[in-house]
Amino acid sequence: MGRRVATLALAALAALAPAAGAQAGATATGHGGAAASVDRAATRTAISVLRRGGNAVDAAVAAAGVLGVVEPYSCGIGGGGFMVIRTPSGRVTTIDSRELSPAAMTPTSFMENGEPLEFDPARYSGLSAGVPGTVRGWSEALEGYGTWSLGRALHPGAAVARRGFRVDDTFVSQTEDNVPWFDDVPSTAALYLDPDGTPRDAGTIIRNRDLARTYGLIARRGPRAFYEGPIADAIVKASNEPPVAAGADHVWRPGLLSAGDLESYTAPERRPTRVRFRGLDVWGMGPPSSGGSTVGEVLNILDGYRALASDRTRALHLLIESERLAFADRGAYLADPDFFDVPLRDLLSRRFAAERRELIDPAAAGTSPAEPGDPYGDGGGPGHSTTHLTVSDGRGTVVSYTFTIESIGGNGIVVPGHGFLLNNELTDFDYDDPAAPNSSDGRKRPRSSMSPTIVTRRGRPYLAVGSPGGATIITTVAQILLDRLALGASLPDAIAAPRVSQRNATPSQAEQAFVDSPEGRALAAGYGQTFETPDDPEIGAATGIDFGRHGRVLAAAEPVRRGSGSAAVERP
């Protein structure tokens, strides 16, 4: 692979770092480029690339390659994602590497005897795996906006895969939830379970030589090596003939992928969403993601209220009620734009925000489910796991990148001989409703909640942020933006703040720390808001970069969630 000494030295330092736990350095300030992720090895990789002359796109792809090794249950080359890029000229664009359904899929593919499959049988199957888009997305980003080759950017990830990463308590917990299914699949069990079928112990080193070889093949031959030939054949076979043991405890349904599905996959460049909030431009990801539109609608509604910073409890009440209405609209109007005429301009209009704002009682909680609005204006019209990476360089390039394999552990199938888990992204379709805009269908991208976001002021970078967390991604990003842009919080404080998530349901989900906070108690007592804590007690694991004056940057990651994240700057 022509590895350089500097790359090997970086990998040697990073290889035995915890997958995502007990890390110092959740905040860093300085000048030049910056990076923040859930993992120290990935953040170090990004900073090393910047220091060696690469730009933010190069650094983001290299760090993402490392995350695919050390965060395999959350992301990797078996999945897809969305990247928002701000170029030195001030242009903002996006790359859509969302997974694509097989051509053979239909609105009833997830149904048996006229009834939709339950979630677990749908997820742990070949049916749930869409065409992975990550490799094509990395290639398109580098060719269009980077300076490094894909092969060079994959060197650090391949080195970490060979040398291994140390299992931490978070990784053990994530494995435990998957044991009943992982032990059905020998290729998965061999990598992530001990011989007795239990999770690898904390402190164990996991080496993934199969993934290192896969990265090496892609490095030599480019994305074609992934979408055609032996890797593509192995993906199709693993999906259509799930490689389960003879004594498997579950039924693993075959998928519908074909070699043609992989060979024809593209990662299109799309226009970003854009709204104005408090005099700033907020750029996000458009359909098939619902992130940019739903975050944008929430901000548009909130922007009509004055003096939000004077009363944080009131501001949070208005956030919750704005989210309730925006999620009703998300469910009605967001889907793959190639299949459904998404009224994006109307959803993000000031007129529509004003109409929705009129439905909010400033002093009392609303009820769910709220009805969607009419963005057309005339009565017409038609567990999740993810990771987020934020990178900038000293020349003005900013990358906000969210990518995933969907649920923690994807569909549970490690592609034999190649070392990566397949996604279960197609369970993001509304597969129980063949008439829904987001119904399953052939060669269609399921609706997503990923919300990579870049904020600019007078064309210059001001903030970049994003988070994992399924549908809570949207509410996490909206709350961070509210705290940072309207309520005066610093970025680290906005990321660390206890979270609430209203997704057009009653009660709202909230972390226990939010329920117990003065604001949480006041919302319950004074506004009638109700809360429940989710099965996963943490909501999101955000990262972001703040851009100050005179080239000063502040990178921030979670101080506690997911065992804490990692932030660093090029010149501390």
> Would you name the residues annotated as active-site residues?
386
Supply the DSSP symbol for 483: I
The alpha carbon of 220 is separated from its chain's Cα centroid by a whole number of angstroms, namely 28
Q: Of the candidates 148, 450, 362, 135, which has an alpha carbon nearest to the alpha carbon of residue 262?
A: 135
- List own/partner pairs for 204-209 with CB under 8 A and 24 or more apart: 204/166, 204/167, 205/16, 205/164, 205/165, 205/166, 205/167, 206/164, 206/165, 206/167, 207/161, 207/162, 207/163, 207/164, 208/69, 208/72, 208/161, 208/162, 208/164, 208/419, 209/161, 209/162, 209/419
Q: What are phi and psi of 301, to 5 degrees?
A: -65, -45
Packing angle of the helix pair 134-145, 150-163 (nearest 10 deg): 140
Residue type at 379 in one-letter notation:
G
Q: Burial letters for 420-431: b for 16+ Cβ neighbours within 10 Å, e otherwise?
A: bbbbbbbbbbbb
Residue 524 half-sphere exposure toward CB, CA atoms < 13 A: 15
d(CA 153, CA 46): 10
Name the nearest CA neighbour of 30 among 393, 571, 464, 568.
Answer: 571
Paired strand residues for 404: 80, 386
Centroid of chain to Cα 116? 26
Check: CB of residue 301 under 8 Å from CB of residue 270.
Answer: no
At a CB cut-off of 8 Å and minimum separation 6, what does 201 contact?
167, 172, 194
Beta bridge partners of 454: 283, 464
Residue 178 phi, psi dihedral angles, 5° rounding: -100, -5
Omega into 288 within 30° of 0, i.e. cis?
A: yes
- Measure the CA–CA gap between 259 and 499, rounded to whole angstroms: 43
Q: How far is it, in rounded angstroms, from Cα 537 to Cα 453?
A: 24
Q: Which residue has the tokens 């199957």?
A: 125
Q: What residue has token string 């208005």? A: 318
Exposure pattern of 477-514 as b/e (b: 16+ CB <10 Å)? bbbbbbbbbbbebebbebbbbbbbbbbbebebbbbebb
Q: Tokens representing 538?
A: 């943490």
| DSSP symbols for 69-136 | HHSTTT-STTSEEEEEEE-TTS-EEEEEE--B--TT--TTTTEETTEEPPHHHHHSSSTTPPBP-HHH
